[in-house]
């Protein structure tokens, strides 16, 4: 058993309480390798933002849980070395079973998500409560989910979506004892959230997708005043990176993500954790493609992963400062 406290990590409790009253959201960025982690830590230290490092099942399969845990430990030391101790959470993203959550808790994670959203309601409650009972013995915080997000992305898939029913949230939270709740109000996983046909165009010709269901969010907030709400599937799919990828031989569709203004609005409410993975993938891939296309003589990975890391860092800084509002809250 490794406690996250020995690793210099924190759980989400205090972080969320401050974010809810402060009108901002904590960034929850997924990582799978060193360059992504460096970019996240550099950006969050430079903007003085708390951060949630998210590890998916795909990440654990790819990078190994021991390595990831020690990387998170190293990340807290790296932040210190960079000159500012930011609060760092190591969080299991989309835990699919009690066994997965237990393994992560026993291996130094300070927060876990148990995603029972595709189960029948009572089964979701049962599974989530079991995880909460185990996690709370070790002061690990738990995120549950109600409602199903659309989108198909690797390990996390749901062909259909249904919005969270506000009538269920009080019952779910009180019966499970979760510390935060992920809801479905129109976001979805992956880089293909909305096709151009689903959007309208503004005066500048920019595609605007249908707005998030802020009415549902407001109703949920009314039922659970001050309770931490989580938004998954919150990448904005920056068009500059989609274009760059396609310019240098990629083949991405012309689809769009969640507009930054809508995320900013959500962050001012009880939404206190915003999950972003796909945007990091896009920025990294764009820069790697660009460098390899423009400098075909390059074969040192540092020569293309370095510029990718720089672009990632800039993007995360922008999100912390201009979108989530988490800058200067560490």
Residues that bind ligand 13P (CB under 6 A): 30, 93-94, 153, 189-190, 232-235, 275-279
Do the bridges between strand 207-208 and strand 229-231 make them parallel or antiparallel, or are there none, so unpaired?
Answer: unpaired
Instruction: List the catalytic residues.
Output: 93
- Burial letters 231-242, b for 16+ CB under 10 A, else e: bbbbbbbbeebb
Binding test (CB under 6 A) with ligand G3H, winner from 81, 139, 154, 254: 154
Interface region with ligand G3H, contact rule CB under 6 A, candidates 55-63, 159-167, 261-269, 310-318: 55-63
H or E element at residue 301: helix 301-318
Binding test (CB under 6 A) with ligand G3H, winner from 30, 76, 110, 176: 30
Q: Which residue is nearest to ligand G3H (CB)?
A: 58
273 has which bridge partners?
A: 26, 230
Q: How many other C-beta atoms are found inside a 10 Å radius of the C-beta of residue 126?
A: 14
8 counts as binding ligand G3H under rule CB under 6 A: no
232 counts as binding Zn ion under rule CB under 5 A: yes
Binding test (CB under 6 A) with ligand G3H, winner from 57, 102, 130, 318: 57
58 binds, among ligand G3H, Zn ion, ligand 13P, none (CB under 5 to 8 A by kind): ligand G3H
Interface region with Zn ion, contact rule CB under 5 A, candidates 162-170, 198-206, 226-234, 283-291: 226-234
Q: What distances in angstroms separate CA 282 from CA 4, 14, 210, 236, 260, one per listed residue?
A: 31, 32, 22, 10, 16
For 194-222, the DSSP string reads B-GGG-EE-TT--EEPPPP-HHHHHHHHH
155 counts as binding ligand G3H under rule CB under 6 A: yes
Q: Looking up tokens 């493609």, which residue turns up?
A: 289
Minimal distance in Å, beta carbon 233 to Zn ion? 6
């Amino acid at each position: 058993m490794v406690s996250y406290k020995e690793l210099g990590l924190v759980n989400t409790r205090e972080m969320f309480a401050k974010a809810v009253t402060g009108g901002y959201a904590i960034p929850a960025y997924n990582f799978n390798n060193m360059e992504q982690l460096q970019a996240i830590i550099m950006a969050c230290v430079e903007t003085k933002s708390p951060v949630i490092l998210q590890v998916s099942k795909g990440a654990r399969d790819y990078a190994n849980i021991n390595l990831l845990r020690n990387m998170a430990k190293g990340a807290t030391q790296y932040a210190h070395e960079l000159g500012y101790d930011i609060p760092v959470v190591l969080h299991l993203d989309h835990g699919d079973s009690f066994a997965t959550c237990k393994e992560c808790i026993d291996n130094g994670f300070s927060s876990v998500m148990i995603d029972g959203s595709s189960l029948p309601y009572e089964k979701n409650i049962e599974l989530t409560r079991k995880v909460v009972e185990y996690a709370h013995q070790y002061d690990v915080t738990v995120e549950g989910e109600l409602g199903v997000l659309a989108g198909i992305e690797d390990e996390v898939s749901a062909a259909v979506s249904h919005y969270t029913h506000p009538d269920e949230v009080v019952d779910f939270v009180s019966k499970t004892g979760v510390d935060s709740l992920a809801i479905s109000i129109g976001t979805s996983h992956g880089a293909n959230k909305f096709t151009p046909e689903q959007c309208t165009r503004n005066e500048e010709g920019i595609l605007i997708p249908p707005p998030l269901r802020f009415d549902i969010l407001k109703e949920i907030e009314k039922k659970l005043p001050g309770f931490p709400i989580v938004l998954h599937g919150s990448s904005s799919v920056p068009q500059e990176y989609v274009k760059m990828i396609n310019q240098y031989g990629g083949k991405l569709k012309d689809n769009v993500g969640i507009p930054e203004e809508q995320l900013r609005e959500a962050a001012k409410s009880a939404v206190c954790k915003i999950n972003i993975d796909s945007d990091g993938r896009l920025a990294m891939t764009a820069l790697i493609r660009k460098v390899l296309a423009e400098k075909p003589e390059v074969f040192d990975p540092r020569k293309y992963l370095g510029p990718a890391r720089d672009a990632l860092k800039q993007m995360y800084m922008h999100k912390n400062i201009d979108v989530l509002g988490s800058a200067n809250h560490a």
